[in-house]
Amino acid sequence: MEQNFNPKTVREKLLRLIDKTIQKNTQVRKILLVFLQTEKTIHRESLRFSFLFAQTFLRPSR
């Protein structure tokens, strides 16, 4: 990840990535969206994990 870690930027990227996803993997998307909505104070590692998780599992199928 970047040296200067900005939770807001990563959160926005993650939300955009979830929005872009057209896969039928709705359960995973729901879990991530709930996580983002409920977690007010997001820890660096949790956010990093979520971002990597989304990148790995929520790629649009080609």
pLDDT tens, 9-52?
A: 877 887 777 767 645 567 776 777 776 666 555 566 677 777 77
Q: What is the pLDDT of residue 61?
A: 59
- Residue 4 has a CB neighbour count (10 Å cut-off) of 6
Q: What is the pLDDT of residue 2?
A: 47
What's the whole-model pTM score?
0.30
- The C-alpha atoms of residue 43 and residue 1 are separated, in whole angstroms, by 15
**Residue 14 belongs to domain spanning:** 7-57
Contact 42, 8 (CB under 8 A): no
Establish if 1 belongs to a structural domain: no
Q: What angle do CA 37, 1, 54 make, to 5 degrees?
A: 40
Establish if 16 belongs to a structural domain: yes
Establish if 62 belongs to a structural domain: no
First to last CA, the chain: 26
Establish if 27 belongs to a structural domain: yes
- Total domains, the chain: 1
Q: What is the pLDDT of residue 58?
A: 67
pLDDT band at 60 (very low <50, low <70, confident <90, very high): low
Establish if 2 belongs to a structural domain: no
Establish if 32 belongs to a structural domain: yes
